Structure 1
Amino acid sequence: MPELVRLYIKNIVMGFGLAVAFVGLLLWFNVANLWHLISTSDVGYIALALLVVFNTIVFAGVQFAIAVMRMAEDETPPGGGKRDAIPAQHVAEMVPVRVPVEPQSRKQLRR
């Protein structure tokens, strides 16, 4: 079996375990009254299965993404953010700009 497929299956199993634990905690702490809704409904088992399946998809995807990102090889040393001095010829000089303002009465301002 290819290594990447083995890694993916391993992360699906880990995601399933995390999803079961997460749904178990949701029901244990009765978040949004989920335990009551699932235990008193005649189709509560479907809701429970969907919670586990969809959380498995989410957690397995996150686990796999983290595993793939950790596989990256760091070949180049960090070199971003060089702060070289800006040459003086490119620095613009600040010049005040005068804007003439005509005095207006208060009646004209309220319109």
Structure 2
Amino acid sequence: MPSLVKFYIRHALIGFAISAVFVAGLIWQDVMGLGHLMTRNADGILAAGMLWFFLGTIFGGAQTGIALFLMHEDEDRDDDDDDPHGGQRIPVHVPVEAPRRRHL
């Protein structure tokens, strides 16, 4: 399996794990009566599963994006940045000829 696919699956699973903890916290804290509705209703398990899945897609995407941005910073740390970048900014005079105007 390509490393990019492994990277995406790993971070998507992390996002779904975060989603499971988040949904469990919502039910346990009974935020706005959500825990009461899900535990006392016959379709509460379906609602909790749908909430977990959709929040998992959001958290998985966010986790993957964060990992991508942080991966770029990790690669920069490995390089030796002792060399100056961007030059010395010494002004240089470059002669430029202006186009001549034609008089009618």
Q: TM-score, normalising length from structure 2?
A: 0.67
The structure 1 segments of at least 4 consecutive aligned residues displaced by more than 4 Å after TM superposition are 73-79
Give SS of 1:42's match: coil
Instruction: Supply the AA of the counterpart residue of 1:12.
Output: A
Give, in angstroms, the shift of residue 20 of structure 1: 0.6
CA distance in 1, matches of 2:53, 2:60: 10
Number of equivalenced pairs: 79
Structure 1: segments with no counterpart, 5+ residues: 80-111
Q: TM-score, normalising length from structure 1?
A: 0.63
| Greater helix share, structure number | 2
After TM superposition, list the pairs within 5 Å mapping 1:1-111 onto structure 2: 1-72=1-72, 74=76
Task: Give the RMSD, CA atoms, in angstroms.
Answer: 2.2
Structure 2: segments with no counterpart, 5+ residues: 87-104
Q: What CA deviation, in whole Å up to 9, does each residue of 1:57-108 have, x standing for no partner?
A: 11101110011112325589898xxxxxxxxxxxxxxxxxxxxxxxxxxxxx
